């Protein structure tokens, strides 16, 4: 369990919380004492496992099917969380997709889908959450260190979307500061998930620490940003990548 159950009495929502980094975040927030809702698109079994992990800590869990490219679904998901738990304190926007392609051949379909999920979906999720979020709440986005260093051909669109998130966070932080709601962005580097497994060996040698990250390590940084300890930090992008961008 989390050392001091720092989030006891809080309600958290994780967009894209059924697998990988998202599932690790869901579990860590529950271990720290929060009730946790999560959204998923297709992996209903994984979402159910994530809810079971929450309930194993003694907290309440909820899984909601919602595509982050669907604004109405996002708004309805937020309303469901407040309806079920009665309050809303922490939102983590982790939903994102990665489709590679060089500028000469990336399809407009892939371009539009990445913009819809990775940029528009992030903004809409924060907008929907902010309207119901308790004053003093926390907004945390999961970006990418590719916002700083792309590193490989074929990732221009993905990198662009993650740079947009880093900039978005600054502006939204100013909007929500009067309500003491902090807004911060976590930028992981190569991390072992099912989305990245195919190219982790290729990038491991480029990481000064000589290894890729684990989802629980990203979740640890999110847990700090969700806690009272981080109350004086807002509008920041924190890179956690083993030194890859150095």
| CB burial of residue 110 (10 Å; 0-12, 13-18, 19+) | middle
Say if CB 94 and CB 16 are below 8 A apart. Answer: yes
Which H/E stretch holds residue 183? strand 182-188
The candidate with the shortest Cα–Cα distance to 54, out of 1, 94, 3, is 1
Distance CA 91, CA 29 (A): 11
User: Is there a catalytic annotation at residue 158?
Assistant: yes
Structure tokens belonging to residue 114: 């990445």
The candidate with the shortest Cα–Cα distance to 66, out of 74, 75, 56, 58, is 74
Q: Which of 40, 158, 232, 244 is catalytic?
A: 158
Angle 154-155-159 (CA atoms, 0-180°, nearest 5)? Answer: 160
Which ranges in the chain belong to alpha helices (H)?
Answer: 20-31, 44-56, 71-85, 108-115, 121-132, 156-176, 200-204, 215-226
Q: Would you please indicate which residues are annotated as catalytic (active-site) residues?
A: 158
């Amino acid at each position: 369990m989390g050392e001091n159950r720092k989030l006891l009495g809080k309600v958290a929502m994780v967009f894209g919380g059924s697998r990988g980094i998202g599932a690790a975040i869901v579990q860590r927030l529950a271990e720290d004492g929060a009730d946790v809702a999560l959204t998923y698109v297709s992996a209903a079994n994984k979402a159910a496992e994530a809810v079971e992990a929450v309930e194993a800590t003694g907290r309440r869990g909820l899984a909601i099917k919602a595509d982050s490219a669907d604004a109405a679904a996002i708004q309805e998901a937020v309303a469901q969380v407040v309806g079920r738990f009665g309050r809303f304190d922490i939102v983590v926007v982790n939903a994102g997709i990665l489709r590679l392609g060089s500028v000469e051949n990336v399809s407009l379909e892939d371009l539009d889908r990445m913009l819809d999920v990775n940029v528009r979906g992030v903004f809409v999720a924060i907008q929907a959450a902010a309207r119901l979020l308790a004053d003093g709440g926390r907004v945390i986005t999961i970006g990418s260190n590719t916002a700083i260093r792309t590193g490989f051909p074929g990732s221009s669109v993905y990198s662009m979307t993650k740079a947009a998130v880093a900039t978005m966070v600054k502006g939204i932080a100013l909007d929500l500061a009067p309500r003491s709601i902090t807004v911060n962005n976590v930028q992981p580097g190569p991390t072992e998930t099912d989305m990245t497994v195919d190219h982790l060996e290729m990038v491991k040698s480029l990481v000064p620490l000589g290894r890729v990250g684990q989802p629980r390590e990203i979740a640890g940084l999110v847990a700090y940003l969700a806690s009272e300890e981080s109350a004086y930090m807002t509008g920041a992008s924190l890179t956690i990548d083993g030194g890859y961008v150095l």
